[in-house]
């Protein structure tokens, strides 16, 4: 009994010591904080001393007078220093401002990568490691109102690597209500496709939902054309829009017509969403996409409608999205409807410095047997996993998946690991 | 259990409790009390009163223009400064890590070309806000100097009873 109690005590002591050690950075933080406050005190003293050297005739800038602080603030208790700056101060100020002002073009490059491990009990598959996408993102302000965005991925293939231009966009901002851009986008249908793009580090889970899978066909993931976007004056509703016209699906249905459209019909897309000001973290929206598809000499009209509801705060995180894809063959008027949806729930735990987030996702895809544009994409499955942010820019994820594709196939159990990072 | 063992056990448990309490206190101590944090802008910025949700909209990069000719230039103090703590806690409602991830994702989504500019002292902040049209920053109300425009938030100025940023 005594030994057990002592062992328990020693174990708790060890835990206590490690906990106390973990508080060391907090001590350093406090020291830095104290030093910063000291710098501020010294700055105030320098300002006061300089003010005493200058005749008190200097006038305060009128705008500050127009918005005086209330009388009880310390600012009012001590008279503001005179503001006749010295020449060297003016020069220093100009240099600081010049240094911090935006210079054009101002290219920023950010990379994303991931390394994965997969093991399933599906017949005919091998377990093992694989390199995910290496993703390079470019952003460059070309002027105050013109910005370039680009994204390239390097994808591991059995015979080497393929390079793909994922996004290539130039955008002109008029104001918050109207921005127009041209290039290759992620089609603004629903939420996930434009919220997370290719960097696995950005998303909670290891993989994207099947309906927005990279290289998938359920929705046109990419879009080549132009896009107008902006906020809609709507008060507390916080409405925003995207409206675009482009080439639509190409001859390979998973790809947009990068090198040119395969017909004279343009696809168009409209997306409207709300981020209510009173409910910070909530976003809900609806999307419509219209296209005409040419597939092996047959023409199809495509209507896609989608809706999403998300709560982006991580306590909890909630993502839900639904899409219906309608295809109607022009010649026969035969129509099919395919549906897909997912619901994802995550929660960032308050312990371990908020670095751990368990999650669950259910997803479902149904394509009718009469569907002629897609191959069968039926899927039902659940994902349980945990994300552990090992730093601000890197994470480990572990997932268990239980999925079934098409009715005749068996359920598959899978275990997946990923480390995803940005650099 | 003899008396010595009992004493050792009690001492060990007491020490453990103390250390755990200290660790928990250190982790929990994330914000400190202090003066109100003023929202300050360049004097020519065409706003004087914003609601807290409008301030949030600006800081989230959802409002990027004061008007069609004047872009918003976001300034934020470097980590550890109290002004930053208050901005992250009250406006963004994010941790430091979430804030960094938010801006990486924002730029990656092509919704913004650059994150907020980092400023390291009040002097630097004063120089930038008074020198860059459209600039907005946050500073301890005691350090606000003439030459900057202090915005009302939800109709209140720093020092008012219901002022939300402190």
Cβ–Cβ contact A4 with B under 8 A: no
pLDDT of residue A161: 92
Query: B25 is written with which tokens?
Result: 């206190």
A181: which strand partners? A171, A227
Nearest to A17 among B8, B19, B113 (CB): B19
In degrees rounded to 5, what are phi and psi of residue B68?
A: -65, -15
Rounded mean pLDDT, A221-234: 95
Model's pTM, two decimal places?
0.79
Rounded mean pLDDT, A72-85: 41
Compute the CA torsion angle A410, A412, A413, A419 (nearest 10 deg). 180
Q: Specify whether the CB–CB gap between B56 and B91 falls below 8 A.
A: yes
pLDDT of residue B21: 42
Q: Who has greater pLDDT, A45 or A239?
A: A239
Query: Tokens 């659940």 — which residue?
Result: A382
Lowest mean pLDDT among A88-97, A157-166, A375-384, B4-13: B4-13
Q: Which residues contact A155 (CB under 8 A, 6 or more apart)?
A: A133, A161, A162, A163, A164
- Residue of A139, A175, A188, A242 to mutate when probing chain B, most B C-beta within 10 A: A175
Q: What is the distance in angstroms between the Cα of A401 and the nearest Cα belonging to chain B? A: 26
Quickly state the pLDDT bin for A3 (edges 50, 70, 90): low
Write out pLDDT tens, residues B6-60: 564 555 445 444 434 433 443 334 445 578 999 999 999 999 999 999 999 999 9
- Indicate yes or no: CB of B127 within 8 angstroms of CB of A141: no
Write out pLDDT tens, residues B73-96: 999 999 889 999 999 999 999 999
Cβ–Cβ contact A80 with B under 8 A: yes
pLDDT of residue B23: 38
pLDDT of residue B29: 40
Say whether A280 sits in a helix, a strand or coil: coil
As separate numbers, helices (DSSP H) first and strands (DSSP E) second, chain B gives 5, 8
DSSP 8-class letter at B89: I
Cβ–Cβ contact B104 with A under 8 A: yes
Quickly state the pLDDT bin for A55 (edges 50, 70, 90): low
- In the predicted model, what is the mean pLDDT of chain B? 83
Q: Specify whether the CB–CB gap between B22 and A23 falls below 8 A.
A: yes
State which residue of chain B sits closest to A348, comparing Cα positions: B98
Q: Who has greater pLDDT, A103 or A185?
A: A185
pLDDT of residue B148: 92
Quickly state the pLDDT bin for A45 (edges 50, 70, 90): confident
- Indicate yes or no: CB of B81 within 8 angstroms of CB of A81: no
* B37-153: CATH superfamily: Periplasmic binding protein-like II (3.40.190.10)
pLDDT of residue A50: 72
pLDDT of residue A422: 94
Q: How far is CA A27 from CA A122, A310, B17, B77, in A?
A: 51, 38, 20, 20
Write out pLDDT tens, residues B109-119: 989 888 999 99
Lowest mean pLDDT among A61-70, A293-302, A393-402: A61-70
Q: How far is CA A117 from CA A130, A206, A421, in A?
A: 6, 10, 15
Residues of B in contact with A149 (CB under 8 A): 110
Compute the CA torsion angle B87, B88, B92, B93 (nearest 10 deg). -120
Say whether A30 sits in a helix, a strand or coil: helix
Q: How far apart are CA B131 and CA B149, in angstroms?
A: 12
Residues of B in contact with A16 (CB under 8 A): 15-20, 23
Does the pLDDT of residue A195 top 80, yes or no? Answer: yes
pLDDT of residue A98: 64
Nearest to A147 among B63, B113, B132 (CB): B113
Query: A298 is written with which tokens?
Result: 């047959």
pLDDT of residue A341: 97
Interface of B with A in 6-65 (CB under 8 A): 8-9, 12-13, 15-20, 22-24, 26-27, 29, 35-36, 38, 43, 48, 51, 53-54, 56-57, 62-65
Please give the interface size between A and B, counted as residue pairs whose CB atoms are below 8 Å apart: 226
Q: How far is CA B134 from CA A232, A340, B68, B120, in A?
A: 22, 45, 11, 19
Cβ–Cβ contact B108 with A under 8 A: yes
- In the predicted model, what is the mean pLDDT of chain A? 84
pLDDT of residue A76: 37
A356: which strand partners? A388
Q: Who has greater pLDDT, A2 or A30?
A: A30
pLDDT of residue A262: 80
Residues of B in contact with A238 (CB under 8 A): 57, 62
Cβ–Cβ contact B93 with A under 8 A: yes
Does the pLDDT of residue A87 top 70, yes or no? Answer: no
Residues of A in contact with B82 (CB under 8 A): 33
Cβ atoms within 10 Å of B82's Cβ, excluding its own: 22
Q: Are strands B37-41 and A379-391 parallel, antiparallel or unpaired?
A: unpaired
- Residue of B79, B105, B110, B126 to mutate when probing chain A, most A C-beta within 10 A: B110
Q: What is the distance in angstroms between the Cα of A139 and the nearest Cα belonging to chain B? A: 6
Cβ atoms within 10 Å of A375's Cβ, excluding its own: 8
What domains are there in chain A, each with its CATH number?
Answer: 112-422 (2.40.160.10)
Q: How far apart are CA A7 and CA A5, in angstroms?
A: 5
Q: What is the distance in angstroms between the Cα of B117 and the nearest Cα belonging to chain A? A: 8
Residues of B in contact with A72 (CB under 8 A): 159
Residue (of A92, A344, A182) closest to B126 by Cα position? A92
- Indicate yes or no: CB of A199 within 8 angstroms of CB of B141: no
Q: Who has greater pLDDT, A204 or A408?
A: A204
Rounded mean pLDDT, A158-184: 95
Nearest to A280 among B2, B18, B93 (CB): B93
Q: Who has greater pLDDT, A30 or A49?
A: A49
| CA-based torsion, A308, A314, A317, A323: positive or negative | positive
Rounded mean pLDDT, A119-127: 92
Cβ–Cβ contact B72 with A under 8 A: no
Domain boundaries along the sequence of chain B: 1-30, 37-153
pLDDT of residue A263: 83
Q: Specify whether the CB–CB gap between A240 and A229 falls below 8 A.
A: yes
Residue (of A173, A167, A213) closest to B109 by Cα position? A167
Q: Which residues contact A414 (CB under 8 A, 6 or more apart)?
A: A118, A119, A120, A121, A122, A399, A400, A401, A402, A403
State which residue of chain B sits closest to A31, comparing Cα positions: B80
pLDDT of residue A257: 79
State which residue of chain B sits closest to A151, comparing Cα positions: B108
State which residue of chain B sits closest to A66, comparing Cα positions: B149
Write out pLDDT tens, residues A311-339: 998 999 999 999 999 999 999 999 999 99
pLDDT of residue A30: 66
Does the pLDDT of residue B152 top 60, yes or no? Answer: yes
Rounded mean pLDDT, A212-233: 93
Q: What is the distance in angstroms between the Cα of A330 and the nearest Cα belonging to chain B? A: 36
Q: How far apart are CA A414 and CA A123, in angstroms?
A: 12
């Amino acid at each position: 009994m005594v030994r057990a109690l002592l062992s328990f005590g020693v174990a708790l002591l060890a835990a206590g010591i490690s906990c106390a050690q973990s508080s060391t950075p907090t001590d350093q933080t406090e020291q830095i904080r104290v030093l910063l406050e000291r710098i501020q005190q010294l700055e105030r003293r320098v300002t006061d001393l300089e003010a005493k050297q200058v005749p008190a005739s200097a006038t305060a800038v009128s705008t500050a007078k127009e918005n005086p602080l209330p009388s009880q603030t310390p600012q009012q208790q001590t008279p503001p220093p005179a503001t006749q700056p010295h020449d060297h101060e003016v020069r220093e100020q100009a240099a600081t401002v010049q240094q911090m002002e935006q210079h054009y073009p101002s290219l920023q490059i950010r990379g994303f990568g991931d390394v994965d491990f997969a093991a399933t009990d599906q017949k005919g598959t091998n377990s093992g490691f694989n390199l995910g996408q290496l993703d390079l993102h470019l952003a460059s302000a070309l002027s105050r109102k013109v910005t370039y965005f680009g994204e390239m991925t390097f994808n591991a293939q059995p015979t080497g690597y393929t390079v793909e231009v994922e996004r290539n966009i130039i955008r002109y901002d008029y104001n918050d209500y109207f921005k127009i851009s041209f290039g290759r986008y992620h089609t603004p249908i629903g939420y996930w496709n434009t919220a997370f793009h290719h960097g696995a580090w950005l998303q909670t889970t290891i993989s994207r939902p099947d309906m927005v899978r990279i290289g998938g066909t359920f929705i046109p993931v990419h879009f080549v054309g132009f896009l107008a976007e902006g906020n809609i004056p709507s008060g507390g509703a916080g409405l925003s829009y995207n409206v675009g016209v482009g080439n639509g699906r190409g001859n390979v249905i998973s790809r947009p017509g990068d090198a040119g459209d395969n017909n004279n019909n343009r696809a168009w897309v409209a997306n409207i969403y709300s981020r209510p000001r009173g409910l910070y973290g909530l976003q809900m929206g609806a999307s419509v996409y219209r296209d005409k598809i040419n597939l092996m000499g047959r023409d199809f009209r495509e209507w896609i409608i989608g809706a999403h509801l998300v709560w982006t705060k991580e306590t909890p995180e909630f993502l839900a999205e639904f899409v219906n894809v309608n295809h109607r063959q022009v010649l026969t008027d035969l129509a099919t409807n395919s549906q897909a949806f997912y619901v994802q729930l995550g929660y960032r735990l308050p312990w371990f410095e908020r670095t751990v987030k368990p999650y669950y996702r259910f997803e479902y895809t149904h394509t009718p047997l009469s569907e002629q544009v897609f191959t069968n994409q039926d899927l039902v499955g659940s994902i349980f996993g945990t994300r552990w942010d090992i730093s601000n820019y890197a994470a480990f994820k572990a997932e268990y998946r239980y999925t079934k594709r098409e009715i005749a196939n068996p359920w598959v159990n899978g275990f997946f690991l990923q480390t995803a990072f940005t650099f | 259990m003899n008396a010595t063992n009992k004493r050792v056990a009690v001492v060990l448990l007491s020490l453990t409790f103390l250390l755990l309490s200290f660790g928990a206190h250190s982790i929990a101590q994330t914000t400190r009390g202090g003066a109100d944090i003023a929202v300050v802008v360049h004097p020519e910025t065409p706003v004087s009163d914003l609601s807290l949700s409008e301030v949030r909209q600006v800081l989230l990069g959802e409002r990027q223009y004061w008007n069609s000719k004047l872009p918003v230039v976001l300034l934020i103090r470097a980590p550890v400064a109290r002004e930053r703590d208050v901005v992250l806690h009250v406006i963004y409602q994010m941790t430091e890590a979430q804030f960094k991830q938010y801006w990486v994702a924002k730029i990656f989504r092509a919704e913004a070309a650059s994150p907020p500019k980092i400023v390291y002292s009040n002097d630097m902040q004063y120089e930038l806000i008074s020198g860059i049209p459209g600039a907005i920053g946050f500073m301890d109300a005691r350090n606000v100097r003439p030459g900057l425009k202090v915005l009302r938030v939800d109709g209140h100025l720093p020092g008012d009873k219901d002022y939300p940023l402190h």
